[in-house]
Structure 1
């Protein structure tokens, strides 16, 4: 298995960061297998969704509706409402697997691999990309 970690700066606001380009580069010299994308953080997740047409903003809005940033959370360190960030990975898994054939991600036409980060207290993220040959 080949694996590397990439650094992603998400900024000080909730964001959906497109990782597809980095994933494409990582598997381009491979043949067939599986790409694992893993975020080793307790307050971020990984998703496959369409970006650039409003779905990324819709996802962040849905998270705000489902997990509002307010002071009701028992996990209370950090900025106000930060406890919801610790619940996020139960709804958006910290990892995904994408099939790779002939060095190409087998994503649908409008699908992108994205880091979803609602934690405004930590703007630096690590993402581990791992390729398991088939």
Structure 2
């Protein structure tokens, strides 16, 4: 995990007014950050810009001290989980949570430790062996 810093970040679509206006934010390494707001306020757009799925119209985005405005999403080392029900129904909660770490070829003991710690924080410990439909 690395520090994320947004400086005067803005997002506009065409000639329309900005949907994200001059965001200045620093999320320190190991810090937990949550974006809350009503539908359409720009939460997903901001996350998509950090992940590299949307271009910034203005401003700078640094991850780990590196300017990443022009770095492709796949090279940023960032992932996001969408709010919509995008879980694999044939996999347990544990396996769904571990999926990204498995793709990153993390050792099994690291995956187990990280998934169980995240589950503890989210109070999902009791559900790790269940399937999403349950």
Q: TM-score, with normalisation over the residues of structure 1?
A: 0.23
More helix by share: 2
Task: Tell me: higher relative CO, structure 1 or 2? Use CA pairs within 8 A at least 6 residues apart.
Answer: 1
